[in-house]
Amino acid sequence: MSDHVDGPRSIGDPAADLSDLFAFTSPESPARTVLAACVFPSAGEDAIFSNIINYSIAVRRVTVASVGNSAKFQPADDEIRFSFRFDVLKRDAAGKAIQRGVCTLPEGGELPLTVNDEKGASTPEGDIRVFAGLRSDPFYLAWDAGELKRLPNLLQHTNVLCIVVEFDTRRVLDPTKGSLFGAIAETVPPQQRSLIAPAIPRIDWIGRPEQTNIRLYNPALVGIDDLRDLWNQQTPFAIPKQLQPLFLQRLKDSLANWDMRDGKADWTPDALAANASVFLDDFLLFDVAKPINDESHLEIEKSTISGLPYQTGGGRTVDANSIDILLTWLVNRDREFLQGGATGATKPGIKVFPYFATPNTELQTVAESVELAATPDDVWSLIGQFGGAWHPLTARVNLTGAGIGQLRTVLTLDGQKIVERLEAVDDAKRVLRYSIVAGVGVSHYTGTLEVKLKGSGCVVDWRAQFLATDKTDRAVKVMVSTWFKTGLESLKPRFGAAA
Amino acid sequence: MTAFVELDHPGPSATDGEIAAINLESARRGAWARFAQDPSLPGVAEAIVDDERLALQFLGDLDALDRLDVLALQFARADGSSRAVLVRAEVASTAHRFDDARGYLARAAQMGAPREAIERQVLAIDQACGVKLDAVLAARREVATASGRLEDLVPLGSLLADLERFAEADTVYRRALSSYDDVSPFPLAWVCFQLGMLWGELVPEPDPNLAAIWYRRAVGYLPGYVKARVHLAEIYASQGRMGDAEALLLPALSSSDPEVNWRFADVLTAQGRFEQAERQLDTARSGFEQLLERHLLAFADHAAEFYAGSGNDHRRALELARTNVDNRPTRRAVEQADAIAMIADAA
């Protein structure tokens, strides 16, 4: 995951665990820039910011110091910093818990805000606007990073806590002095807390996505030390000279491994070392004088390493496919795009402030199973047919199309018509996944039917997740559960119930 | 010189306990939703175990044990790897089904599960059962020395307390508190609770005032910490501070822990509110019996204490205390069974 749960320390308080950082041109105004950071990976419906963490996004002007195999981006010493602090919960008149906070602006002013207020808070001049609150996780990861195997989005339907800053680019960044910038975000605890050890300067920080979980802790490298906590303790823009060789060597080893994941060497040793060196300086590069779009992520780094002038503003938009852009670069140096098992997050970004989609509500879950006295293959040969009409409440099933994506229209005995789409099927593992297109008052429905060996027989698992739309959650759960149970029970007379 | 948290030091600051409890629930439900999406997702079943154990330990959410049983079953069906077997071991161990847990760990070893994961669980089980304590102590010391982290120091302190090395336990606990550099209040509340137990119940001559200080700190870090509220309320009640004890227990009544009803009944009885007390005792009794039906070994010791006291059924108490000794023959378990046997004989 981008920077999700990236070290033992950050697991302590999920609200201190940074997951992502973004920098892009405001979709509402080309004259404005948006910086955003997310914490609390895989949050549910009610996550809240810690009241003692300082959440910051900092930006420094950067110059291209060198190109090609000696590529180097040099950050300036001066910093533009936005810092968020949050209070303990208060109750409003109706007894509802609310959290307030304040954003400290680069020049020292403070902007009070209320968490989850979509309008956010603005300075009187309107040059800076901020938001903090729960949103749908914009990141999507659809790979098994250890084996480079495609998966469905591992973060489907999860939420994160976001802080968003939008500002007048000219007034805040003054691009006349240079339009290339590097951004980081960090979570800083109160200082001088530990009595027997130096205070930790920060719990987590992030520059480019996946510095920790993909590059420094490549899951395919066996027997390596986990450097993530040590990395998270370092000061952004200023990795100590004595630690640089340690991190640089790890990056080289990791990138060399990534290069060979497809069995082909796409990186020369010198280019690979240059790539590692660029990633060691971990800040999210963006150029406010050039276009930042969903494809421009990492283009500044890639062009510079290749000895070319960069063409875009790099950065990272809400909808940027950052994981696939990165993996493609690492594995085959952009020879062939590596598309993971998902093409988007649970919800795409929105075009208006605060640009991150509304949080997901909790999916309802139904799971039923039956144990049968038959081999898994025998049972699968019946129920593994997507067009099969084995369910006793089914009058007829019509198939449209073939393979993944085919539709089945189920006509039920009581006259309903349900349209379902085949999303995935694995006959070897005896599992199929489908969604509901129409006919039942649900959205985001994912059903899974699976047959597994158990003892001398098998177990059939049927589970589904969905959001009820037309009726209450309970009513739809009962309906789905009844459908599942009836179907599974009908298998007992055919195959025999397990003893 | 090492400076440890002293009583006049407020201790490390942490995220507000109400926020942390809400975020735990958020993470717990989020993890379950991901598990439902695909039970084999990397790390998700393990995250649920962690979250449910926190809910159980701190928030008095005893239904967590039922949810963990469901998790273990569903995960075993969905995942044929040693991960599922390790989770089954963890769940069994959480419910004090130590023989089951050892069986799962043996199976996990045969399946090639990571050695550290197995050894960590074996160590915890040996300590909980009071067996091979010299070896456990050596291992705990080694781990705690290497990491210096709170999560490794607290089990060492707990073991030292079991071995009646109370001063050393106190030092280790306070070192744990002093060394903490994270912001979650759960670990800090845990150490404070352990210090409260040490000085309030384990040392030969308990110091209730000192114990109360540590329990208050635990509740300060985590207002929803049910066990800390119960223990602090017991001290207040023993000092005749019935109003304070009642105020502590009232918010905890919404938990599913029958010990809250039991202690609340004692406070009501001491105030002469007998009808209310009887209702609370009935709730406690039925609560314990329901728990014993599902998780006998997890609650045998607490239920034995209840029946030996206000639950007023010495035969049941002795039966449960012996069940507990059979399951884990620790010094405390044997002492409890002996004490209850004496009460039963005298009755």
Kindly state the average pLDDT of the residues B326-343: 92
User: Residue-wise over A324-355: b if at least 16 C-beta within 10 A, else e?
Assistant: bbbbbbbbbbeeeebebbbeebbbebbeebbb
**Tokens 């223990």 map to which residue?**
B231
CB pairs under 8 A between A and B: 148
User: What domain count does chain B have?
Assistant: 2
User: Residue-wise over B175-186: b if at least 16 C-beta within 10 A, else e?
Assistant: bbbbbbbbbbbb
* Token pair for A11: 């697991």
Query: Among A71-85, A117-131, A179-193, A336-350, where is mean pLDDT lowest?
Result: A179-193
Q: Which of B18, B41, B178 sits opposite A154 (nearest CB)?
A: B41
CA A315 to chain centroid: 16
Q: pLDDT-based confidence at B2, cuts 50/70/90?
A: very low
CA angle A294, A295, A297 (to 5 degrees): 90
Cβ A215 vs Cβ A254: under 8 Å: yes
Q: What is the mean pLDDT of chain A?
A: 92
Cβ B33 vs Cβ A362: under 8 Å: yes
Chain A residues with CB under 8 Å of B183 CB are 12-13, 16, 50, 52-53, 189-190, 203
Kindly state the average pLDDT of the residues B251-267: 95
Residue B158 has pLDDT above 80, yes or no: yes
Residue B333 has pLDDT above 80, yes or no: yes
Chain A residues with CB under 8 Å of B25 CB are 44, 46
The string of pLDDT tens digits covering residues A379-398 is: 999 999 999 889 999 989 99
Chain A residues with CB under 8 Å of B3 CB are 195-196
Residue A2 has pLDDT above 50, yes or no: no
Chain A residues with CB under 8 Å of B73 CB are none
The string of pLDDT tens digits covering residues A49-96 is: 999 999 999 999 999 999 999 999 999 999 999 999 999 999 988 888
Q: Is the pTM of this model over 0.90?
A: no
Burial of A234: CB neighbours in 10 Å, binned 0-12, 13-18, 19+: middle
Rounded to the nearest 10 degrees, the angle between the axes of helix B115-129 and helix B98-110 is 160
The string of pLDDT tens digits covering residues B291-323 is: 999 999 999 999 999 999 999 999 999 999 999
Record: fold of A364-495: Alpha-D-Glucose-1,6-Bisphosphate; Chain A, domain 4 (3.30.530)
The string of pLDDT tens digits covering residues A133-182 is: 999 999 998 988 888 888 888 888 899 999 999 999 999 999 999 999 99
Kindly state the average pLDDT of the residues A281-309: 97
The CB-based long-range contact list for A212-216 (8 Å cut-off, 24+ gap) reads A212/A3, A212/A6, A212/A7, A213/A1, A213/A2, A213/A3, A213/A4, A213/A6, A213/A145, A214/A145, A214/A254, A214/A258, A214/A326, A214/A327, A214/A330, A215/A251, A215/A254, A215/A255, A215/A279, A215/A330, A216/A247, A216/A250, A216/A251, A216/A254
Phi, psi angle pair for A25, to nearest 5°: -75, 140
Cα B245 from Cα B231, distance rounded (Å):
10
Residue B23 has pLDDT above 60, yes or no: yes
E strand or H helix at B339: helix B331-346
Read off the DSSP letter of residue B159. Answer: H
Residue B215 has pLDDT above 90, yes or no: yes
CB contact under 8 A, B77 and A16: no
In A137-199, the DSSP E strands lie at 143-144, 149-150, 159-168, 180-188
B111 CA: distance to closest CA in chain A (Å): 17
Q: pLDDT > 90: what percent of chain A?
A: 74
Residue A1 has pLDDT above 70, yes or no: no
Q: Name the residue among A57, A32, A34, A58 with its Cα closest to residue A127.
A: A32
**pLDDT of res. A364:** 85
Say which residue, A401 or A30, is predicted with more confidence: A30
Query: Among A362-376, B200-214, B267-281, where is mean pLDDT lowest?
Result: A362-376
Cα A100 from Cα A115, distance rounded (Å):
6
Say which residue, B31 or B4, is predicted with more confidence: B31
Chain A residues with CB under 8 Å of B76 CB are none
In a domain, B72, yes or no: yes
**Position B282, amino acid:** D
Spans of all domains in chain A: 14-332, 364-495
* Token pair for A53: 């963490």
CB contact under 8 A, A203 and B25: no
**Position B116, amino acid:** E
- β-strand pairing of A442-454 with A97-98: unpaired
**pLDDT of res. A9:** 38
3-state secondary structure of A131: strand
Cα A452 from Cα A459, distance rounded (Å):
5
Q: pLDDT-based confidence at A3, cuts 50/70/90?
A: very low
- For residue B184, the chain A residue with the least C-alpha distance is A13
Q: pLDDT > 70: what percent of chain B?
A: 98
**pLDDT of res. A196:** 63
User: Residue-wise over B95-119: b if at least 16 C-beta within 10 A, else e?
Assistant: bbbbebbbebbeebbeeebeeebbe
Kindly state the average pLDDT of the residues B244-264: 95
**pLDDT of res. A440:** 86
**Tokens 């082909």 map to which residue?**
A264
- What DSSP string runs through A48-103? ---SSPEEEEEEEEEEEEE-GGG-EEEE-S--EEEEEEEPPPEE-TTS-EE-EEEE
- Say which residues have a Cβ less than 8 Å from residue A245's Cβ, sequence separation at least 6: none
Query: Among A163-177, A262-276, B5-19, B21-35, where is mean pLDDT lowest?
Result: B5-19
Q: pLDDT-based confidence at B287, cuts 50/70/90?
A: very high
CB atoms within 10 A of CB B226: 26
Chain A residues with CB under 8 Å of B78 CB are 450, 452, 461
Query: Among A305-319, B6-20, B190-204, where is mean pLDDT lowest?
Result: B6-20
Cα B90 from Cα B101, distance rounded (Å):
7
ipTM reported for the complex, 2 dp = 0.90
Q: pLDDT > 90: what percent of chain B?
A: 84
- What DSSP string runs through A271-295? HHHHHHHHHHS--EEEETTS---TT
The residue among B97, B126, B155 that closes a domain is B126
Residue B297's DSSP bridge partners are none
Q: Name the residue among A462, A469, A454, A458 with its Cα closest to residue A487.
A: A462
E strand or H helix at B257: none
The string of pLDDT tens digits covering residues B96-149 is: 999 999 999 999 999 999 999 999 999 999 999 999 999 999 999 999 999 888
Chain A residues with CB under 8 Å of B13 CB are 52, 190, 193
**pLDDT of res. A409:** 93
Cβ A422 vs Cβ A436: under 8 Å: no
In B176-316, the DSSP E strands lie at none
E strand or H helix at B86: helix B82-94
Q: Which of B12, B30, B38 sits opposite A158 (nearest CB)?
A: B30
Cβ B104 vs Cβ B88: under 8 Å: yes
CB contact under 8 A, B13 and A190: yes
CB contact under 8 A, B13 and A52: yes
The string of pLDDT tens digits covering residues B37-88 is: 788 888 899 999 999 999 999 999 999 999 999 999 889 988 889 999 999 9
Q: Name the residue among B216, B186, B177 with its Cα closest to residue B200.
A: B216
E strand or H helix at B284: helix B274-308
> The domain containing residue B261 runs over which residues?
257-347
- β-strand pairing of A457-468 with A364-372: antiparallel
- Choose the mutation target among B182, B188, B222 for the interface with A, i.e. most A CBs under 10 Å: B182
**pLDDT of res. A448:** 93
CA atoms within 13 A of residue B34's CA, in its CB half-sphere: 27
Cis status, amide bond into A354, omega within 30 of 0: yes
CB contact under 8 A, B182 and A13: yes
Q: Which CATH number does the domain housing residue B333 bear?
A: 1.25.40
**pLDDT of res. B213:** 95
Phi, psi angle pair for B149, to nearest 5°: -90, 150
* Token pair for A174: 């003054």
Residue A5 has pLDDT above 70, yes or no: no
CB atoms within 10 A of CB A133: 25
- Say which residues have a Cβ less than 8 Å from residue A206's Cβ, sequence separation at least 6: A2, A3, A18, A19, A20, A21, A37, A184, A185, A186
In a domain, B223, yes or no: no
Q: Name the residue among A420, A375, A431 with its Cα closest to residue A397.
A: A420
Rg (CA), chain B: 20
